[in-house]
Each structure stands twice: as structure tokens, then as C-alpha cells.
Amino acid sequence: MGKQIRVGIGGWDFAPWRETFYPAGLAQKRALEYASSQVTSIEINGTYYRNAKPAHFAGWAAQTPDDFMFAVKASRYCTNRKALGEAGESIERFMASGLDELGPKLGPILWQLAPTKRFDADELAAFFQLLPAKLGTRKLRHVLDTRHASFMCEDYLKLARKHKVATVFTDSDKYPSYADATADFVYARLMCARSEIATGYGKPELKQWAARAAQWQAGAQPDGLPYADKAGAAGAAKPLAAGRDVFIYFINGAKERAPAAAMALLGLL
């Protein structure tokens, strides 16, 4: 199967979407079924605050199309701590909470660090070693959301590439924003949607994101994005001949516009 571009939103239970996204009168219990018919991936955020149960994951898998994929945000108890290298027990508990019930619909696992967490090579290496390579027979894909500018350095990029952990590219002025590829897939969280635009991002911007997504899929690094590597796109990563899977989520920003933004980008792709 060729490399795919998936576009989606964060979660499916957001009250303003009753006005801007869901059909009138749709039962709440059918929200995921509907949302997953309109986008190709959803980032599950609730698992950051509390572990779900196997029955939850099984239910989510059952309500979505065969070729659908979830990203799952890992528990904050794994990542919001003084010493990341001591997260082993929390990681095991999270991994055992029922993720395997998603089967082939389990996409990347997102590990979001606290904004105060600075880059420490030894600490991060210890954390990366705790991330399991597989869940049963399924190979896992991990992505790190770094929220402190100290991660924008060569040492971090080298470490993430060594452990094949992707790095979130964040389209936001609030958080470090750098598009260096550190794994064989790309994970972008687009946070600059504006409420006055029906699709969150304007059409020229969405066309630009569609072009960037295609470049990522082809294994290239788009020009015009910020990079931690001083050589910019040219040094950000070697082109990957096999290409890369791409996951793009419209999240935060003017969240009420996220579904329309995702659907518009999918239309352009």
C-alpha cells in the first residue's frame, strides 16, 4: 500500500460542532460514526486526561470505516513529570488500557510534553527507550509534541531520528514550530484557524497545505516552513525514497471551524 495522507480533527464531542458540523437532530451516540465518515483520521484527546477502557476502544473501532485511523494522545501521567525516564509504570498502564482493541485503526501515539519541559538528552533517551516498539504483533509509531524551544537543536533531532520517533510540526505562534522530519511519517497539528473564515484557513493557505502534504508524502521537506536544522529544508532530513505517511489535524485555534478545514483540505487532496 502506498503512503497515505490522512486529515482530521481532535475528538468528536465538541458542543459548537452541533451548529457547524453535525446534521440537526443527530444522536450524540452517532457523532463518531458521522465524523469518521467526513474525515480520514481523528486524534483521541480524552486519553490524555484519563485512561479509556478496552470497551471504549472496541466501540470506537466498531463505529468507524474500515480504512479509518485514530491517533491516540498518551496519558499526561507519562509525560508531565520531573524525570521522563521514570515513566515506565505509567507507560505500561497506558499501553495496557485497551489500545490493542483498535486493531489496524491504531495510528500514531502522541506523547505531549509540558511547556516547561526542557530538552535533556540523557533524560529523553531514557524516555524513548521506554516506548514499546510493538503492541502484540502490531508495530507502533510514536510522535513527540515538544513544547519548549530548547528542543529546536541538532542534538534533539539526532536523538529522535535514532529512536525513529516523529516530531509534531505545530502551526502556531504559541509553541515551538519546526518541520524537521525525524521518522518515516509526518505529524502536523494546525492551530491557526480563524473563526471569521468558514473553513478556518483561507483557500490559498489550504492549497499551500495540500502542496506541503504531497511533498511530505513524496518523502521531501517543503520549503517555506521553519526548521531547527540550520540548513533549512535541505538539511532537515534526507529525502525518503519510499515516501512518508502524513497525518494532519486541525486542532485548537478556532476549533468550531476544524471539521470544515479538514474537509476542505481533503477536497483539495
> What burial class does residue 117 get, using C-beta atoms within 10 Å of its C-beta: 0-12 exposed, 13-18 middle, 19+ buried?
buried
Residue 236 confidence (pLDDT) = 60
- How many domains are contained in the chain? 1
Averaged pLDDT score across all residues of the chain? 95
Q: CB-side exposure of 58: number of CA atoms within 13 Å?
A: 5
Q: CATH no. for residue 141? A: 3.20.20.410
Backbone angles phi, psi at 140, to 5 degrees: -100, 150
Least confident segment among 58-67, 157-166, 220-229: 220-229
Give 28-84 pLDDT, tens digit per residue: 999 999 999 999 999 999 999 999 999 999 999 999 999 999 999 999 999 999 999
Q: Is the pLDDT of residue 230 over 90?
A: no
pLDDT in tens, 185-220: 999 999 999 999 999 999 999 999 999 999 999 999
Nearest Cα residue to 87 out of 136, 142, 42, 137: 142
pLDDT at 249 over 80: yes
Residue 233, pLDDT above cutoff 70: no
Amino acid 55: pLDDT: 98
Per DSSP, the three-state class of 219 is coil
Overall size of the chain counted in residues: 269
Q: What's the mean pLDDT in 107-124?
A: 98
Task: Give the structural domain span for 101.
Answer: 5-268
Asked whether the predicted pLDDT for residue 94 surpasses 90, the reply is yes
Least-confidence region, from 47-61, 96-110, 179-193, 219-233 = 219-233
Q: Average of pLDDT values for 113-117? A: 97
Nearest to 186 by CA among 59, 60, 6, 32: 6
pLDDT band (50, 70, 90) for residue 2: confident
Instruction: Please give the grid coordinates belonging to residue 66.
Output: 474500515
Q: With a threshold of 0.85, does the pTM exceed it?
A: yes
